[in-house]
Amino acid sequence: MGREILAEACLTPRLSGLGVSPTVAMNELCDELRSRGRTIAKLGLGQSPFAVPAPVVAALEANAWRKDYLAVKGLRALRDAVADYHRRRHGVACSGDDVLIGPGSKELMFLLQVVYRGDLVIPTPAWVSYAPQARIIGREVHLVPTDAASGWRLLPEQLEALCRDTPHRPRVLILNYPSNPTGGTYTAQQIEALGEVARAHGIIVLSDEIYGELHFEGRHASIARSYPEGTIISSGLSKWCGAGGWRLGTFTFPAKLRWLLDAMAIVASESFTTTSAPIQYAAVRAFEGGQEIEDYLRRARQILAALAQAATRTLRAAGVQVEPAAGSFYLFPDFAPLAGALRARGVETSDALCARLLTDAGVALLPGSAFGRPPQELTARIALVDFDGARAMAGLAAARDGEPLGDDFLRTYCFTVMDAIERLCAWARPGAAPDPRSA
């Protein structure tokens, strides 16, 4: 009789306290509730509502036959296209030799922490997977809280204070802008000031610019311009190109960090080996750009900006505090002004807030606690994505050029989001009752 296989006791202790990623868990819960007949507005998972641009889809179709393993670091033509994109868009001096391709930027972030033994510095609120990845690997995590008064931005003096308290430690600072979860960003001057502190203390900056092309005014500025020697630019296809399920991410390194790229490639060769060949070939077309993709981005920015502005107005009118977004498809409201009324209904944490919103109003958000905020802080992330982006783009194309997008357009093409924000605000007001449509 053989020995019984040991179960939970053999799991690595670093998994203690970790669950499935909150975004993934919320998306799966929403799908389950919808399958039971519930009316649910899915404002939890940050998935682009827009279709992949037609020329990129055509490139995937044309390359679907490709079946061979590609180089671990990525298809040479794609690495060159990514480097050219960053030179063209951001004025960053780089070549294809400085680029690493992976199956999503999330995987590349994980590999970076595997090979580089540095503390992870994360301004909060921050994307849900940064800190869990570091804890799985065993890296020290420093959460640096920001606040609405600063636009949820990391201040240079905060970074300086952290480095001064514990000097000579290797560090990786993650900057994500436009931000998930706040929709905020940094000006060129603010980025330059952070770069000066990073340079003074030898910090590696992982600049997560996956939403860069969704800056509402198309004016995203990379920190790699002011701190080129220490910045790794993280990008990919999931957000600005609408191809989250394609799983393709890119890291662009400065020449001085080529040793780090090479180390990550070694681990990649023993883990994912290579990224899907057809998708890499199609991604070349995405990063090459051109007028059709520029038109796609212009329409996406216009729709998302109008939707964010309308949602912000509605939330503020209901007494909810929220900073205006500058890009991406997120808002990060704070329900603190309504705390007294919410407390009287048994809502004292962000988790309870989102649980009740889902139950009572059929609106799925993610709690601020998932983004590194204190549980008692009544913040949440709204993903303004539950609408048919292809249909909205077609509607925009039919409108007169330059015409501002009003509520009529948004109610026609983004109704679920507009309705959900109104239901959310109606629920949050004192004396609100459950919405019968969510039952």
Q: Is the pLDDT of residue 432 over 60?
A: no
Q: What are phi and psi of 263, to 5 degrees?
A: -65, -40
Q: Which single residue is written with the structure tokens 């079946």?
A: 67
Task: Give the residue with greater pLDDT, 226 vs 19.
Answer: 226
Q: How far apart are CA 150 and CA 300, in angstroms?
A: 27
Kindly state whether residues 318 and 352 are assigned to the same domain: yes
320, 338 contact by CB (below 8 A): yes
Kindly state whether residues 273 and 306 are assigned to the same domain: no
- 439: in domain: no
- 5: in domain: no
Kindly state whether residues 416 and 298 are assigned to the same domain: yes
Q: How far apart are CA 110 and CA 267, in angstroms?
A: 11
Could you tell me the residue range of the domain that residue 297 belongs to? 19-48+292-431
- 9: in domain: no
- 10: in domain: no
Mean pLDDT value of segment 312-335: 97
Quickly state the pLDDT bin for 438 (edges 50, 70, 90).
Answer: very low
- 40: in domain: yes
- 81: in domain: yes
Q: What is the pLDDT of residue 33?
A: 73
CATH of residue 197's domain is 3.40.640.10
Split into its structural domains, the chain has a count of: 2
Task: Give the residue with greater pLDDT, 321 vs 22.
Answer: 321
Mean pLDDT value of segment 366-371: 94
Q: Is the pLDDT of residue 389 over 70?
A: yes
Q: Is the pLDDT of residue 227 over 70?
A: yes
Kindly state whether residues 306 and 160 are assigned to the same domain: no
Of all residues in the chain, what percent carry a pLDDT higher than 70? 92
Quickly state the pLDDT bin for 5 (edges 50, 70, 90).
Answer: low
Kindly state whether residues 60 and 205 are assigned to the same domain: yes
Average pLDDT, the chain: 92
Quickly state the pLDDT bin for 431 (edges 50, 70, 90).
Answer: low
Of all residues in the chain, what percent carry a pLDDT higher than 90? 82
Quickly state the pLDDT bin for 29 (edges 50, 70, 90).
Answer: confident
Highest mean pLDDT: which range of 3-7, 11-15, 303-307: 303-307
Kindly state whether residues 354 and 300 are assigned to the same domain: yes
Kindly state whether residues 145 and 192 are assigned to the same domain: yes
**Least confidently predicted of 105-109, 324-328, 434-438:** 434-438
Quickly state the pLDDT bin for 36 (edges 50, 70, 90).
Answer: confident
Quickly state the pLDDT bin for 436 (edges 50, 70, 90).
Answer: very low
End residue of a domain, out of 289, 316, 349 = 289
Quickly state the pLDDT bin for 16 (edges 50, 70, 90).
Answer: low
Task: Give the residue with greater pLDDT, 438 vs 13.
Answer: 13
Q: How far apart are CA 434 and CA 439, in angstroms?
A: 8
Mean pLDDT value of segment 260-272: 97
Kindly state whether residues 107 and 132 are assigned to the same domain: yes
**Least confidently predicted of 300-314, 327-341, 389-403:** 389-403
Q: CA 321 → CA 176, 189, 214, 223, distances in Å? A: 22, 26, 23, 29
Kindly state whether residues 134 and 281 are assigned to the same domain: yes
Q: How far apart are CA 438 and CA 358, in angstroms?
A: 8
Q: How far apart are CA 246 and CA 248, in angstroms?
A: 6
Q: What is the pLDDT of residue 369?
A: 94
Q: CA 404 → CA 187, 300, 323, 350, distances in Å? A: 25, 14, 21, 35
346, 26 contact by CB (below 8 A): no
CB atoms within 10 A of CB 186: 21
Q: What is the pLDDT of residue 85?
A: 97
Quickly state the pLDDT bin for 9 (edges 50, 70, 90).
Answer: low
Kindly state whether residues 329 and 271 are assigned to the same domain: no
End residue of a domain, out of 289, 308, 323 = 289
Kindly state whether residues 173 and 202 are assigned to the same domain: yes
End residue of a domain, out of 289, 324, 356 = 289
Q: Is the pLDDT of residue 102 over 70?
A: yes
- 270: in domain: yes
CATH of residue 29's domain is 3.90.1150.10
- 226: in domain: yes
C-alpha Rg value of the chain to the nearest Å: 22
**Least confidently predicted of 69-83, 173-187, 303-317, 385-399:** 385-399
Kindly state whether residues 349 and 377 are assigned to the same domain: yes
Angle separating helix axes 291-317 and 415-428, nearest 10 degrees: 20
